[in-house]
Chain A
């Protein structure tokens, strides 16, 4: 037994089906700080657990895109018509049709970067270390094991109850995870 505060209790399953069942059970008991760790996305689980901040991503991306459009147009108009107006082949200073291409490109660029970094940000990444990594078998979660974690942060959290509950869900193993 270590002195570190407990992070949560983890159950390891060999089968995504069992995991989904377990999640349903735990969720029905009113536990909310529950998280699953799987080798690939399992939509059934996502259907049970409430969505978090990830809903905000599309809106962020939209904003990024609009910002890109405006940046591109502003830059081109300023440079071509205000900063250093030059007669280029007798064309008007604000040749907006010619500016559309770059407006489009920057829209995509800004939006894409927002999507990538937005996703990392909302995931709370980068996070080089996490208490779960203390659990050696957790490495299998990127291969062929399915983990369910009830976090200590949950108001209803009670070590023994949770452990019993999980043990009853046909896991390969149930283990306590400690902060470090």
Chain B
């Protein structure tokens, strides 16, 4: 029976990779719908969720306290100085933005490639993107000397008649990140409309009915709706794919446009994008594996998904390794004494520990992913993903600090040491991310129901059985 379904399924939707099933056996519309919608609608959250949420909230308070103190005292509470005028804040910004990338990539890029396996993970991957971008978005503000004037970076008619300076990568950042945030939200929401309608229809109380009813704009699932919905999704996917590649490129401009040895390098855009996707997939796994376990979604998030994510991590990781390799080469080949010193200093200077940790976390450890068994066994995967996330944060830290602390004029050289507030803000942002994600899991369908339905065998038997 199941086999037939698989075959029919295969006939209906040719799938390149059927070694592992995209979706567990004997699923039906109603089971799927019940299962997914039950989380936001009925179920009392499991203990693990509550603990995670609690930790998240705690860290959010840490964030609030630090931010208050920061605005009261000034950015001097951080370890930054001249020459190292950028520290944790910018590191965190780049890190979070990078993490966001996987979400968009899964939802947009894989949609264009017609990778149906994405359907059961794209929803929370997109949510991850949005929350990551939210976390990233704080930092450019937090690191300002006069944060209350942040809006001067935006073009708007004002009595000073002074406007932003469009040659500055920071202004590009503002546009890139805000565009990215907007498009991600739109795309995410667009995809959720049919499911919100489903929630409306499943809802048990008037309040929930009204709530989801408004959120889904009165979606009816008519063929015209579906057609428009699909073409809009495809268009957005087509737009989001170059966008996601551009965002980290622009972020990398923050460094490449500067003339600092160790920053001023043309390889940065691809290098940063690869790193971003790398860390992004690591985060997807860090989120997917526990959720899958906690809410028993093994039938929807199958080994196939995990395996593919792991493969993508491995691939992007290798691109990154190549970048690590080629950077010092270009420095050496370029022959500028400053460049050469910068990379020598990276590997053997005061921050060598960071450099070698980065190599360990981002290059060495992920090589385990060559082993197929590891790619589908949650625990090792989880650990490797955490290592990659840490490694990627450290990479940005290394790039920023080591290039700044020893640039051109030795008399200005000085080492950076983080303060407690640097760490408070970093962990605070992680807390914010956890909290937002926990809330998302609680109140919104974390898996796209209608897209999962399309994965189900063409005609389901339960229709008659329920007659």
Contact = CB atoms under 8 A, between A and B. Distances in A.
14 contacts: A39-B33, A41-B227, A46-B226, A54-B228, A58-B231, A89-B167, A98-B166, A105-B179, A112-B187, A113-B182, A116-B186, A139-B202, A144-B30, A145-B463
Contacts of A102: 166, 171-172, 175
A143 B202 contact: yes
B167 A95 contact: yes
A67 to B, nearest CB: 14
Interface in B226-244: 226-232, 235-236, 239-240, 242-243
A69 interface: no
Interface in B200-243: 200-202, 213-214, 217-232, 235-236, 239-240, 242-243
Nearest to A55: B231
A46 B226 CA distance: 9
A125 B221 CA distance: 12
Contact of B194 (A49, A52, A61, A142): A142
Interface in B317-334: none
Nearest to B246: A104
Given A40-B450, A51-B227, A79-B155, A112 B240 contact: yes
A25 interface: no
Given A108-B239, A113-B182, A57 B232 contact: yes
Interface stretch (B58-66, B68-76, B453-461): B453-461
The dominant DSSP class at the B interface is helix
Interface string B422-433: 000000000000
Contacts of B225: 123, 125
Nearest to A102: B175
Contacts, number: 202
The dominant DSSP class at the A interface is helix
A120 interface: yes
B250 A118 contact: no
Interface in A92-143: 95, 98-99, 101-102, 104-106, 108-109, 111-113, 115-116, 118-120, 122-123, 125-130, 132, 139-143
B231 A127 contact: no
B1 interface: no
A132 B186 contact: no
A14 B464 contact: yes
B186 A40 contact: no
B165 interface: yes
A128 B213 contact: yes
A46 B221 CA distance: 13
Q: Point out which of A35, A51, A115 has the most chain B C-beta atoms below 10 A from its C-beta.
A: A115
B231 A112 contact: no
Nearest to B165: A88
B185 to A, nearest CB: 10
B184 to A, nearest CB: 10
B43 interface: no
Contact of A112 (B166, B213, B236): B236
B224 A35 contact: yes
Nearest to A36: B223
